[in-house]
């Protein structure tokens, strides 16, 4: 990417962050229906401003504590941590990215992809979502894709992914409200005891 393109991305990131801060200052809270909170960090990384991306992610975590993010945002958070040499935090973020869209990492490492028989809670965790973000998925380097592959096929990632698929397969075929709640509780219990919980920074 040429310097002009990188500058354009940094400018876009700065503009999005300014808009968010202005809204907080004016109203006392941020009602970000346009999703600027997700775009800013991605644009910082595309602009080669990794330190600013990490600063934004830190601000995001304090400002939107209950926000689970979205797949591309989560993936780029993992990239930012990896590029900063924060291996454990990068692994944690990559797990969250994998769970937010099970098709994204296989796409990036050129593994076979087919639709999964699972309950998809939104359009962002579906296979079709990759078409929406495909232009951004050229960013990871070959080295980073090799890291994705190693982690994706590791025992930790495989166990987490297999449990997710098992639980959300059940959800896809269960209509009883109380039973669905019990299935989701099983997933929450698994997460609470999983490597994701132990790796949380």
For residue 34, name the pLDDT band (cuts at 50, 70, 90): confident
Give me the long-range contacts of 41-45 (CB less than 8 A, separation at least 24): 41/13, 41/73, 41/76, 41/77, 41/80, 42/13, 42/72, 42/73, 42/76, 42/136, 43/9, 43/10, 43/12, 43/13, 43/16, 44/9, 44/10, 44/13, 45/76, 45/79, 45/80, 45/139
Average the pLDDT over 92-120 and give the result: 96
Pull the structure tokens for residue 68: 């689970």
Average the pLDDT over 134-159 and give the result: 96
- Residue 196: per-residue pLDDT: 62
- Residue 46: per-residue pLDDT: 97
For residue 195, name the pLDDT band (cuts at 50, 70, 90): low
Pull the structure tokens for residue 74: 């989560």
- pLDDT 10s digits, 54-103: 999 999 999 998 898 999 999 999 999 999 999 999 999 999 999 999 99
pTM over 0.75: yes
Per-domain boundaries in the chain: 1-67, 74-201
**Which carries the bigger pLDDT value, residue 201 or residue 80?**
80
């Amino acid at each position: 990417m040429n310097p002009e393109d990188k500058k354009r991305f940094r400018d876009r990131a700065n503009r999005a962050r300014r808009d968010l801060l202005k809204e907080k200052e004016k109203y006392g809270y941020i009602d970000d229906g346009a999703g600027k909170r997700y775009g800013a960090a991605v644009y910082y990384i595309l602009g080669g401003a990794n330190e600013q991306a990490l600063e934004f992610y830190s601000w995001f975590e304090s400002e939107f504590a209950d926000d689970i993010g979205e797949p591309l945002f989560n993936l780029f958070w993992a990239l930012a941590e990896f590029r900063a040499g924060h291996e454990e935090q990068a692994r944690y973020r990559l797990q969250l990215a994998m769970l937010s869209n099970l098709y994204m990492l296989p796409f990036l490492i050129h593994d076979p992809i087919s639709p999964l028989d699972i309950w998809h809670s939104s359009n962002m965790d579906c296979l079709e979502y990759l078409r929406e973000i495909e232009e951004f998925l050229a960013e990871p380097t070959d080295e980073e894709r090799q890291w994705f592959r190693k982690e994706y096929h590791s025992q930790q990632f495989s166990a987490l992914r297999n449990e997710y698929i098992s639980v959300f397969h059940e959800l896809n075929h269960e209509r009883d409200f109380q039973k669905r709640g019990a299935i989701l509780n099983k997933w929450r219990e698994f997460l609470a005891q999983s490597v994701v919980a132990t790796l949380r920074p």
